[in-house]
Amino acid sequence: MAQKKPDKKSAAKKAAPAKKTAGAGKPAGKASSKKARSGKPVPKNTATKKTASGKAAAAKASLPKTTVPKAAPVTGAIKTTTKKRPPSRVFGNEGRKYEEYIEPMLASLEDHPFDNDEWIFEMKWDGYRAIAEWKKKKLKLYSRNGLSFVQKYPPVAEAITKIKHDCVLDGEIVVLNEDGRPRFQMLQEYEQDPRYPIHYYVFDLLFLNGKDVRELPLLSRKELLKKLLSSCKGDVIRYSDHVIGSGKKFFHHVKKLDFEGMMAKKSDSEYYSGIRTREWLKIKHHNNQEAVIAGFTAPRRSRKYFGALILGEFKGRRLQYIGHTGTGFTHDKLKELWDLMQPLMTAQSPFAEKIKVNAPVSWIRPELVCEVKFTEQTNEGILRHPVFLGLREDKAATAVTKNNDR
């Protein structure tokens, strides 16, 4: 059975958090025509072959309301290895990117928290989105664009292989600092510095024992997921819990913990692979976003390699300037970026308009993506005080578009 995509107008209407109308937000019947955002019929999920038809049976009892999860304290440095894993039957002999992979469901941006009993609220983790396919004792673990994480994060890969049932999971890989808070920069440096705990926070279940469960309501999928993970030993894989209805109170706790933000999801939402809908929303506490690296300026004083990165985002096919950042770099990160940019250097600016900066710029082809945090954004779209957080290997440059969250 091919999975259907939601109708853009009906999805936006039923997802509006401000209204609490009876029966709002329920999926249309199977006889109705659900369309993708483009208006075209939904293609089949070609990345995974379904081995059984029909829906998996879900437990009838509803999940109890849960308390707000707290950040786990760091109990000590973990012992792991950063050596590359040799090919094996379990982990496969895949290259850096899988030829076939499942694209995750995407969330839209919402400006303000809200209360609604038809919605659940989860932590927004500051890490790498990751899909795990554990089938017939073989593992695929990858980013939203199919890049393998098996070699990059061995403790996560090892933990998934201990799950007793075949499954496909959706979650976020994070590294926690001394205060138990996820930090993206520490995840970037994990291969070189694996002292801090790494976890895979799993928040959705796509397949179970060969059955496609993506058409089940979200709460039913999460109930199956919680039961599946309850037998997992160790602390690497964690179930990402939620609260029901109380979005404002939850967001207040998110800010108190200084987390990145929270996710709001329709409790009866189906899972639409590769589609951004208004049935899943992200509400940010920190001003973070991805940016395309378009060039760099020369270093000043004692700094080596480069001074600042020139940043942009795509508006249609045109790259639009959004600012530059010269902070947030370690010496090793300066050298790493310098080495990555050298093969991409070009004499021509990737911007259509002339960019005003305080120093001459060396241009590169717009292929590298980074994440930055900033204080605010001007009406012209320029980021104020952007700080470099790390490279986003899981994002394609063409996917960094203006208002791509909405």
Known catalytic residues? 124
Alpha-carbon distance of 258 to 128, in angstroms, equals 18
Q: Look at phi and psi of residue 211 and say left if phi exceeds 0, alpha if psi is from -120 to 50, else beta.
A: beta
Contacts for 80 with CB less than 8 Å, ≥ 6 apart? 154, 155, 194, 198
What are the tokens at 235? Answer: 């602390």
**HEC profile for 16-65?**
CCCCCCCCCCCCCCCCCCCCCCCCCCCCCCCCCCCCECCCCCCCCCCCCC
Residue 225 is classified by DSSP as H
Within 10 angstroms of residue 389's Cβ, the number of other Cβ atoms is 20
What are the tokens at 220? Answer: 């039913």
Name the amino acid, one letter, at 250.
F
Dmax over Cα atoms in the chain, in whole Å? 68
Judged by DSSP in three states, 173 sits in strand
Whether residue 14 contacts residue 277, with contact meaning beta carbons closer than 8 Å, is answered with: no
